[in-house]
Structure 1
Amino acid sequence: MHEIVVVRHGSGPEVLLVHGGAGPRTTWGALAPLAERWSLAYVHRRGYPPSPPPQRRQDFDVDAQDLAPLLVGSPHVVAHSYGALGALIAVAAAPGNIRSLTLIEPPLNQLAPYDPEVARLQRIGDAVLTHGMDTDPGELREFLALAGAPVGEGPLPKQVVAGVRRAHGSRPTSEARPRLAAVRGAEVPVLVASGGHSAALERVCDALAAALAGERVVRPGAGHFVAGAPGFSARLETFLRDNAR
Structure 2
Amino acid sequence: MGEIVVVRDGSGPEVLLVHGGAGPRTTWGALAPLSDRWTLAYVHRRGYPPSPPPLERQDFEVDARDLAPLLVGRPHVVAHSYGVLGTLLAAAAAPGGMRSLTLIEPPLNHLVPDDPDVARLERIGDAVLTHGMGTDPAELREFLRLAGASIGDGPLPEGVVAGVRRAHGSRPTSEARPRLEVIRDTGVPVLVASGDHSAALERICDALAVALGGKRSVHAGAGHFVAAAPGFAEYLDAFLRSVAHRGPGGH
TM-score by length of 2: 0.97
CA deviation vs aligned residue, 1:44-67 (integer Å, no higher than 9, x gap) = 000000000000000000000000
Gaps of 5+ in 2: 246-251
AA partner of residue 21 (structure 1):
G
Aligned 1:76-155 pairs, distance under 5 A:
76-155=76-155
Q: Which residue of 2 aligns with 1:65?
A: 65
Divergent runs of 4+, >6 A: none
Q: Distance in 1 between matches of 2:113 and 2:171?
A: 19
AA partner of residue 13 (structure 1):
P
AA partner of residue 149 (structure 1):
A
Shift of 1:98: 1.1
Q: Distance in 2 between matches of 1:138 and 1:9?
A: 40
Shift of 1:113: 1.1
Number of residue pairs matched? Answer: 245
AA partner of residue 48 (structure 1):
Y
Q: Which residue of 1 aligns with 2:248?
A: none
Q: Distance in 2 between matches of 1:88 and 1:95?
A: 11
The CA RMSD over aligned residues, in Å, is 0.4
Q: Which residue of 1 aligns with 2:225?
A: 225
CA deviation vs aligned residue, 1:88-133 (integer Å, no higher than 9, x gap) = 1001111211100000000001100110110000000000000000
Aligned 1:1-245 pairs, distance under 5 A:
1-245=1-245
Q: Distance in 2 between matches of 1:95 and 1:41?
A: 21
Percent identity for Structure 1 against Structure 2:
79
SS in 2 for 1:8: strand
SS in 2 for 1:96: coil
TM-score by length of 1: 0.99
AA partner of residue 115 (structure 1):
D
Gaps of 5+ in 1: none
SS in 2 for 1:2: coil
SS in 2 for 1:220: coil
CA deviation vs aligned residue, 1:16-40 (integer Å, no higher than 9, x gap) = 0000000000000000000011000
Q: Distance in 2 between matches of 1:244 and 1:97?
A: 14
Shift of 1:209: 0.2
